[in-house]
Chains A and B, each alone.
Chain A
Amino acid sequence: MAMIRLENLSKHYKVLNRSEGLSGALKDLFSRDYRIVKAVSDLSLEVNAGEIVGFVGPNGAGKSTTIKMMTGVLKPTSGLLTVNGRIPTKNRAQNMQEIGVVFGQRTQLWWDLPVIESFKILRQIYRVDQSSYNENMNIFEELIDLKALYSTPVRYLSLGQRMLCDIVASFLHNPKVIFLDEPTIGLDISIKSRIREVIKTLNEHKQTTIILTTHDLSDIEALCKRIVIIDKGTTVYDGSIQKVSSMFGAHRTLKIQLPPAEYLALDQLATSVNGHFSQASAITMEQSEEGWIHFTINQDEVHLMDVLNYIGHHYPVHDIKIEEISIDKIVKNIYEGGLA
């Protein structure tokens, strides 16, 4: 059964074109000069009950906008949208009973009150009966050892602790669908893995349908079978995470910084690297600020260590960083036929 269905969903924002300066601000008071931002255009998607779907895309791709529409807070400009068989913007208050939402940058807990109070308040807002409340609190207890924090006001929690509380709180009323918009934003590796653990366990236990957005592919790899990649408001990939991982899992970004005196030699560096490695297509190069150069390397073809050795041998490398491939790069690769 499709729990969530989007058909050619679009959302266009009307934005006032602002003029500069004080006189511009005055002029804007009377301006009717609007520009349309197509945040989401013709997005179609179907999500089955119990699925966890990873929803990714570069900044501004339209992920949060889509989530806001699915929660019924924003009204789509056009297209069809049903969640749990209902149109989210109709009967809003009632639909909210069946969904849970976490926005990583905000909290839905009561900032000034002790943690446990937020759970009690949510229990009453969502009319959760005492026995399911107790049952859920016990499950949460086992997952995240909340007790020590019960009497602490939410504002004293660390970002990671607050996020854990926010996430379990969104499960308190046993919703059918949960939307998690960047639940791992700004967290370190160890708390991230705890959060993944919590989401995974609760999903398995309660068969909750979950839509998760993130900029960290490893979140998706740990949690989802299916990934939907969007860019500029439309789907560019919808399929198994495995395919994406096997395509890009071997990709690493090698970042190298050269001292200022060498900035000029960048073009030359590019030519020499490309000349040295015969599988040139496996390495792409990009200049960044302050002398940083980013090499995206497909390790199935060329070993990152070989590239590093080669460069280190010929150039006075100042600093290096190695990272997993970013979502932006994947999107770019897909456009260039990477997943065709």
Chain B
Amino acid sequence: MNMGRYLVIAKSSFMTRVARRSTFIFTFLGNLAYITVIYYLWMAVYEGNSMLNGMTFNQAFAYLALASSLFTMFQVYTEWFMSAHILNGDIITSFIKPLDYQFNKLFEAFGAVISNFITISIPTLLVIIFVFDTKIEVGLNLAFFVISLLMAMLISFFIDYMIGLCSFYTESIWGICTTKDVIVLFLSGAMVPISFFPEYLQTICAYLPFQAIYNIPLTIVTTPGLSLMDYANALAMQGMWVVILLLVSRLLHAVATRTITVNGG
């Protein structure tokens, strides 16, 4: 695989995103509203308690506020674009390039994630830290957090991509997409920290890839005093999901792209 070809795809996707800059401000404002709501909501949940399920209010708020900015960062609509391009036939313009379709999409997603990071996540992060006066641990955890985020992005992409492949077989994946969004948001711990889940649900989540997208990186960054072993375990778990999902999505990719339907012309 020739990386230069794919890096330019990431760059073009980044530039395309930035060219549509007006959308950022709205996503950013939406984020602020969401963060304000969870701030007061969880203040009410913590009423009189300094600690719930092993988390302080500051920790839980940091976890959820960061979750919302990660969510917008990972929101690159891979599956929606795949479906739209299958329906209108534009998919062919990807297939006539000397590129692997899946890696093409991966690097497009990568470029979009970086643009989201710079234009939405960073401002949101500043607000979380300075306006809501949230303490975030500064130390080794940040280095592990960055590695963890990278793997979270890959896992999120592979899931989106596999959903997107469904559109090669069925005309409408609207229902599948929204169901996926809800499942991922909930079972990943992006809406409620997983440590607040009932025991059996925590067990189920532990065996699913979704928690590797939000819960693992967020736990790494918000939990003070984790040992090196804890970090290694968390990252190994993510690494395992990256490998499994890479292999599975690659297999589905091979089957789905063997014959594609191109509408129009």
For A179, give the chain B residue with the smallest CB separation: B96
Give bound CA distance, A113 to B11, whole Å: 11
Per-position 1/0 for B74-117, Cβ under 8 A of A: 00000000000000011011011111100000000000000000
Residues of chain A lying within 8 A (CB to CB) of residue B8: 121, 124-125
The segment from A71-79, A195-203, A236-244, A326-334 that touches chain B is A71-79
Taking CB atoms and an 8 Å cut-off, the chain B residues in 21-67 that contact chain A are none
Query: In the bound complex, do residue A127 and residue B5 qualify as a contact, i.e. CB atoms below 8 Å apart?
Result: yes
Minimal beta-carbon separation of A154 from chain B (angstroms): 11
Any A CB within 8 A of the CB of B229: no
Minimal beta-carbon separation of A61 from chain B (angstroms): 12
Residues of chain A lying within 8 A (CB to CB) of residue B198: none
Query: In the bound complex, do residue A108 and residue B93 qualify as a contact, i.e. CB atoms below 8 Å apart?
Result: yes
Any B CB within 8 A of the CB of A101: yes
For B258, give the chain A residue with the smallest CB separation: A75
- Secondary structure call for the A interface: mixed
Query: In the bound complex, do residue A73 and residue B260 qualify as a contact, i.e. CB atoms below 8 Å apart?
Result: yes
Q: B265 contacts which of A96, A99, A124, A181 (Cβ < 8 Å)?
A: A181
Minimal beta-carbon separation of B100 from chain A (angstroms): 6
Query: In the bound complex, do residue A73 and residue B96 qualify as a contact, i.e. CB atoms below 8 Å apart?
Result: yes
Given A73-B260, A73-B262: A125 and B16 interface contact (C-beta under 8 Å): no
Interface residues on B, range: 20 to 34
Residues of chain B lying within 8 A (CB to CB) of residue A305: none
Any A CB within 8 A of the CB of B252: no
Given A117-B12, A181-B265: A73 and B95 interface contact (C-beta under 8 Å): yes
Query: In the bound complex, do residue B96 and residue A112 qualify as a contact, i.e. CB atoms below 8 Å apart?
Result: no
Any A CB within 8 A of the CB of B175: no
Give bound CA distance, A57 to B189, whole Å: 58
Q: B98 contacts which of A105, A121, A126 (Cβ < 8 Å)?
A: A126
Query: In the bound complex, do residue B92 and residue A113 qualify as a contact, i.e. CB atoms below 8 Å apart?
Result: no
Query: In the bound complex, do residue B93 and residue A112 qualify as a contact, i.e. CB atoms below 8 Å apart?
Result: no
Query: In the bound complex, do residue B92 and residue A73 qualify as a contact, i.e. CB atoms below 8 Å apart?
Result: yes
Any B CB within 8 A of the CB of A272: no
Query: In the bound complex, do residue A113 and residue B264 qualify as a contact, i.e. CB atoms below 8 Å apart?
Result: no
Residues of chain A lying within 8 A (CB to CB) of residue B262: 68, 73-74
Residues of chain A lying within 8 A (CB to CB) of residue B92: 68, 73, 103, 106
Number of interface residues of A (CB under 8 A): 33
Give bound CA distance, A85 to B89, whole Å: 28
Give bound CA distance, A239 to B259, whole Å: 33
Query: In the bound complex, do residue B15 and residue A117 qualify as a contact, i.e. CB atoms below 8 Å apart?
Result: yes
Minimal beta-carbon separation of A124 from chain B (angstroms): 4
Minimal beta-carbon separation of A319 from chain B (angstroms): 33
Residues of chain A lying within 8 A (CB to CB) of residue B2: 127
Give bound CA distance, A127 to B3, whole Å: 11
Any A CB within 8 A of the CB of B19: yes
Any B CB within 8 A of the CB of A64: yes
Any B CB within 8 A of the CB of A264: no
Query: In the bound complex, do residue A112 and residue B98 qualify as a contact, i.e. CB atoms below 8 Å apart?
Result: no
Query: In the bound complex, do residue A75 and residue B16 qualify as a contact, i.e. CB atoms below 8 Å apart?
Result: no
Residues of chain B lying within 8 A (CB to CB) of residue A288: none
Residues of chain B lying within 8 A (CB to CB) of residue A94: 98
Any A CB within 8 A of the CB of B9: yes
Q: B19 contacts which of A64, A68, A99, A112 (Cβ < 8 Å)?
A: A112
Q: Which B residues are within 8 Å of any A CB, using their own CB? A: 2, 4-5, 7-9, 11-12, 15-16, 19-20, 89-90, 92-93, 95-100, 258-260, 262, 264-265
Would you mind naming 19 contact pairs between A and B with Cβ atoms under 8 Å apart?
A67-B265, A68-B262, A71-B95, A74-B259, A92-B95, A93-B97, A103-B92, A105-B265, A110-B12, A112-B15, A112-B19, A113-B15, A121-B12, A124-B5, A125-B5, A125-B97, A125-B99, A127-B4, A127-B5
Known pairs A97-B98, A99-B96, A108-B93 / 19 extra A-B pairs, C-beta < 8 Å: A65-B265, A67-B265, A68-B92, A73-B95, A73-B260, A73-B262, A92-B95, A96-B96, A96-B98, A105-B264, A106-B89, A113-B12, A113-B15, A113-B16, A117-B15, A121-B12, A124-B8, A125-B8, A125-B98
